[in-house]
């Protein structure tokens, strides 16, 4: 049983990945400084898996505390790095904070990997690295365009840092998983998206509006060159994303011929407009959503969706859930955490 460190384990994707790893025979330990999450999430993980996962409240930007953690945990075989600030809008208004947090945390982890001889690393990347791509769907070889936000730039830079790192540390293998738009909740409805800070992602904004936490929501942009004027995104169920991490770390641990650095798109492979996503929610919930059409938002790309054939071929990964499954589980989760039937 290999022990895997999850950074950001109390967060949305991190907690779902912990569940998937445990269900596939891994031992898991977590680091999360709880800046945008809660240790209460681990109760949901324990309910699903029957396993108690220990979280260590450490800021990854604090090298001394992080290094001490690794000195006390010598049997870690791989790291899956989720911990990062992730709001596009916040990054536009606070670029320095995003560069400091997202890059220092990565650099400190890599220094600790080197010191403690940990050779397998999964990086939480993003489709935002592509910018406004010239062709859709994007493949892993699609060239990076100019980053539309500081958040996106930290993901571009993170991948570049990893490529340079593995060139000089030949024993290390790393995979960057480029997520598209994770959404939904675990089918048990014991864990789901529940950030400490104000939600910015579309699906929790939709469910919070539907349940009355928000009086209305805004669709940012009504005049894009898309089929209904709103942005196009590729929504992928969080449980599908989680399973890809299990497959990726297993690939690094067991495939001797795996390249030192590789990248995979994690998306459904279909583009859905914001207005289509709203319609899918209304159909699943039987709730009419109060929304308004607004101006474009700084940092948003027009359209992005994935070609996911490489992940299917090499990792044997295929999404199981649809946009309707996403909306159904997200709505059940919202009602549960809001204590409403």
Beta-ladder partners of 179: 126, 266
Reported as a single tens digit per residue, the pLDDT across 252-306 is 999 888 899 999 999 999 999 999 999 999 999 999 999 999 999 888 889 999 9
For 315, residues 6+ apart whose C-beta sits below 8 A from its C-beta are: 244, 247, 248, 251, 264
Residue 305 located in a structural domain = no
**How confident is the model at residue 341, as a pLDDT?**
54
Residue 340 banded pLDDT, cuts 50, 70, 90? low
Q: Is the pLDDT of residue 7 over 60?
A: yes
Mean pLDDT value of segment 49-59: 97
Is the Cβ–Cβ distance between 294 and 220 less than 8 Å? yes
pTM metric for this prediction:
0.95
DSSP assignment string, 158-210: HHHHHHHHHHH-TT-EEEEEEE-EEE---TTSSS----SSPP-SHHHHHHHHH
Reported as a single tens digit per residue, the pLDDT across 211-244 is 999 999 999 999 999 999 999 999 999 999 999 9
**How confident is the model at residue 198, as a pLDDT?**
81
What is the β-pairing status of strands 272-273 and 232-233? antiparallel
Q: Name the domain count of the chain.
A: 1
Lowest mean pLDDT among 97-106, 197-206, 315-324: 197-206
Q: In the chain, pLDDT over 70 holds for what percent of residues?
A: 99
Reported as a single tens digit per residue, the pLDDT across 158-202 is 999 999 999 999 999 999 999 999 999 999 999 999 877 788 889
Residue 335 located in a structural domain = no
Residue 97 located in a structural domain = yes
Q: Is the pLDDT of residue 137 over 90?
A: yes
Torsion, Cα of 185, 124, 181, 263 (10° steps): -130
Q: What is the CATH number of the domain that holds 55?
A: 3.40.50.720
**Mean pLDDT in the chain?**
96
Residues with a catalytic annotation lie at 151
156-168 CB burial, b ≥16 within 10 A, e <16: bbbbebbeebbee
Q: Is the pLDDT of residue 308 over 70?
A: yes
Domain region containing 8: 3-185+236-267
For 186, residues 6+ apart whose C-beta sits below 8 A from its C-beta are: 16, 19, 44, 48, 192, 238, 239, 329
Residue 72 located in a structural domain = yes
- Cα dihedral 95, 100, 103, 106 sign: negative
């Amino acid at each position: 049983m290999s022990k895997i460190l999850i950074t950001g384990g109390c967060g949305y994707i991190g907690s779902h990945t912990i569940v998937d790893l445990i269900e596939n025979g891994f031992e898991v330990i977590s680091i999360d400084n709880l800046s945008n999450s809660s240790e209460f999430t681990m109760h949901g993980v324990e309910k699903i898996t029957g396993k108690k996962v220990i979280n260590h409240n450490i800021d990854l930007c604090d090298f001394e505390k992080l290094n001490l953690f690794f000195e006390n945990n010598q049997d870690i075989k791989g790291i899956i790095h989720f911990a990062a600030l992730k709001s596009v809008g916040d990054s536009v208004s606070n670029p320095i904070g995003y560069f400091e947090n997202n890059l220092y945390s990565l650099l400190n982890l890599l220094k600790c990997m080197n010191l403690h001889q940990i050779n397998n690393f999964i990086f939480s990347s993003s489709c935002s690295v592509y910018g406004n791509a010239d062709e859709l769907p994007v493949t892993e070889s699609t060239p990076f365009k100019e980053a539309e936000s500081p958040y996106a730039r930290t993901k571009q830079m993170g991948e570049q840092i990893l490529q340079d790192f593995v060139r000089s540390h030949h024993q290390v293998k790393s995979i960057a998983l480029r997520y598209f738009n994770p959404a939904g909740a675990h089918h048990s409805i014991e864990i789901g998206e529940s950030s400490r800070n104000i939600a910015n992602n579309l699906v929790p904004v939709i469910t919070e509006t539907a349940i009355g936490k928000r009086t209305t929501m805004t669709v940012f942009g009504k005049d894009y060159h898309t089929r209904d004027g709103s942005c196009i995104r590729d929504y992928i169920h969080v449980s599908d994303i989680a399973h890809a991490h299990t497959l990726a770390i297993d690939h690094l641990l067991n495939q001797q011929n795996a390249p030192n650095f590789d990248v995979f798109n994690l998306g459904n492979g279909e583009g859905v407009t914001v207005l289509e996503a709203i319609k899918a929610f209304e159909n699943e919930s039987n709730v009419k959503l109060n929304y308004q059409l607004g101006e474009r938002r700084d940092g948003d790309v027009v359209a992005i969706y994935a070609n996911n054939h490489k992940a299917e071929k090499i990792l044997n990964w295929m999404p199981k859930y649809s946009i309707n499954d996403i909306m159904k589980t997200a709505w059940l989760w919202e009602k549960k955490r809001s204590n409403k039937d």
